[in-house]
Each structure stands twice: as structure tokens, then as C-alpha cells.
Structure 1
Amino acid sequence: MGDWIPPPSDVLKFNVDGSVRGTAGQAGIRGVLWVNPSNILCSFSIGIGVQDLITAEILAIAKACELCISQMELTGKSIVINSDSRAAVSWINNEDLGNINFSHLIYDIRNILLRLGKTTVEFSSRASNSLADTLAKQGSAREEDVLVWNLS
């Protein structure tokens, strides 16, 4: 599982990643929300058609935000969304919207983060995000989306 670093005991970690075959090809996004490697609360793996890598990375972060806000059980929890895309994380966390083509996605993500209150988006190295990376590659080949919740 690489160098996965567990969050503090009162924080949930959502590792996300995007994967693209080639420069712009079949793409997939994946995320895993967990307390620790043996306690996974949610996972998703979704094919997103033909995209470039930065689009896939931003869509993975957006999906994690959407899932966090969709579950009442996560209200008030501190959640760190980790991505190995330095550019995507920078655009989301700074006033600069980055590439104009992503401004609507960045704006939507920022609004969800404001509503969630205790959720942040942080950069993590590929090594510490290896499970999400592996599963995103699988998502690019999927014919069906997968979303699994385990909040009990």
C-alpha cells in the first residue's frame, strides 16, 4: 500500500486519483475514504470517458467532495482529501482558478468545501496515494461504475 500515512484519530482520509491511458484517452477516477487501511468507509471507481490527466484528477477531487456532502453521517467530521496532483490541489486551495477550462469545477469544489467546513484538500506523493492510483487505473477500464459505502 505504499507509504500510506494514517490521519490523526479524529480525522478521516479520502485518497483520490485520476488515471488516463496515454496523453488523452480512456480515463478513470477512484477514491477511498478511510479511518485506517482496515476500516474503509467508502470507495468509488468510475470510468469518465476520454479525458486528459488534470481533468481526471480534478474530477476525482470533485467526486470525493460530492460524496462527503451527500452523507449526513459525515457532517461535522474532519476529512482530508489527498490527491497526488500538485496543480489540482494548488488551484483548489488558492485564489487562482488555474486553467480557465476548469474554473467551474474549481468553483464548485470550493463551494462544497465551504459547506463542509472541516474538509481540506492536500497534496500527497504518489507513493502515499498508491492504492488510489492503482484503483484509478482499474477504473479507466471499467464498463460499470462502482460506489460502496460502509458507514455502519
Structure 2
Amino acid sequence: MHANLNANCMLNWGLVKKTPHTGHIEVDFLIGDPSVADNLSDSKVLDSIVYCWNPPPLDFFKMNVDGAVSSVGMVAGIGGILRDWNRVTLTSFSVNVGPNTPILAEMKAIKKGIDIFVSSVWASKGRLIIESDSKIAVEWIKDQISVPVYLSNFVKEIASTVSLNQIIIRWIPRCCNCEADKLAKEGIG
């Protein structure tokens, strides 16, 4: 087991292939060099996988985003935090977006995170990875077939920006998204 696990990491039992040199492979390394997976052998399997926030590969930036909705009045907040490959926090946001459904708050957090990055100086220095703990939001952006009609134009706009800017969007477990969750809750007020 890794000695450097922190409280934000989650242990999930399953199968993980490991590299011959390090005994494990991090998904982020596959983004920068997919050929890393070519060195994996089917016979090399671990009993567990560890989920925690990992920095992006060199020349990538990672924006973790989240939406939160209060139980009273459905008031929503959105939050996000942008970090580089050295784990340096570059910017963050925490915004009250008024009455919203949970999924709409998640979508607004993703859009806000993308908009901040695309209009920043960092956009010319590397690519963006957006991480959200909303599986539905991530799935809708990747494939709009099941998006409700009332959200279809909004989701298509986000998907278009993702495609145009070659943004990577992916789901992560909630335990890996603690900072963004805290910012979203602060946005509620």
C-alpha cells in the first residue's frame, strides 16, 4: 500500500494492472503518453486501486469543479479550482448561481471552469482537464443523446467548447473533489 495516501483518497477493491518498474500506473500518465499502457501484462494485477487527486501531466492544467444545492430554496453554488502539474493553485471560484437543480448546478460549474480557463493566459500554455464528480454531467457532455430537452442547447454549447479546445473531461469520485465541493458549498452562502 502507498504510504503517501492522504485523507482525500479512497480505496476501491478491484483490478488494476501495474507497470513492471513501479508496480502501478496512474491514469494521468496515459494522457501524456498512451504507449505506457503497451507495457502492461495481463498477468500483473493488484488487489486494489487507490483514488485520490493527482496532478495533471506536464503541459496540462486541471480544473476540478462542483455544484452544490441547499435543501432550503434550492439555492445553488458552484466552485472550482485550477492547478498545474506542480500542484500549484492558479485560480479558484465560488459563485452563488441562485435557484437551480443539482444537475444544472453541476453543468454551470463545468461551464464556468471552462470559460475561466479558455479566457486565461494558461490556455496558450497547455491543455485543460476538467474533473467533475457528476457522472451524469460528464456523460451528457460526451454524448448528448440522453440530455433532457430543456438542457440540450446548454449542454451542446459546453460540448462544442470542449471539442473546439481539445479539453479532456472526466468523472472522478467525490472524495477526489473535496476542494471544489467546499468552494461550491461556500457559493451557496
Q: Cα–Cα, structure 1 residues 23 and 84, in superposed 2: closer, same or farther, change >3 Å?
A: farther
Report the AA paired with residue 160 of structure 2: N
- Secondary structure (helix, strand or coil) at the match of 1:7 reads coil
Match of 1:124 among 142, 155, 172: 172
Match of 1:102 among 140, 143, 151: 151
Distance in 1 between the 2:184 and 2:172 partners?
Answer: 16
Match of 1:25 among 64, 74, 79: 74
- Secondary structure (helix, strand or coil) at the match of 1:82 reads strand
Higher strand share: 1
How many angstroms does 1:10 deviate by? Answer: 2.6
Identity %: 33
How many angstroms does 1:23 deviate by? Answer: 7.6
Q: How many residues align?
A: 140
Match of 2:122 among 73, 76, 82: 73
- Secondary structure (helix, strand or coil) at the match of 1:89 reads helix
User: Runs in 1 of length 4+ with deviation above 3 angstroms?
Assistant: none
Alignment partner, residue 88 of structure 1? 137
How many angstroms does 1:9 deviate by? Answer: 2.4
How many angstroms does 1:11 deviate by? Answer: 1.7
- Secondary structure (helix, strand or coil) at the match of 2:100 reads strand
Gaps of 5+ in 2: 1-6, 9-51
How many angstroms does 1:76 deviate by? Answer: 5.7
With a CA cutoff of 8 Å and minimum separation of 6, indicate the structure with the bigger relative contact order.
Answer: 1
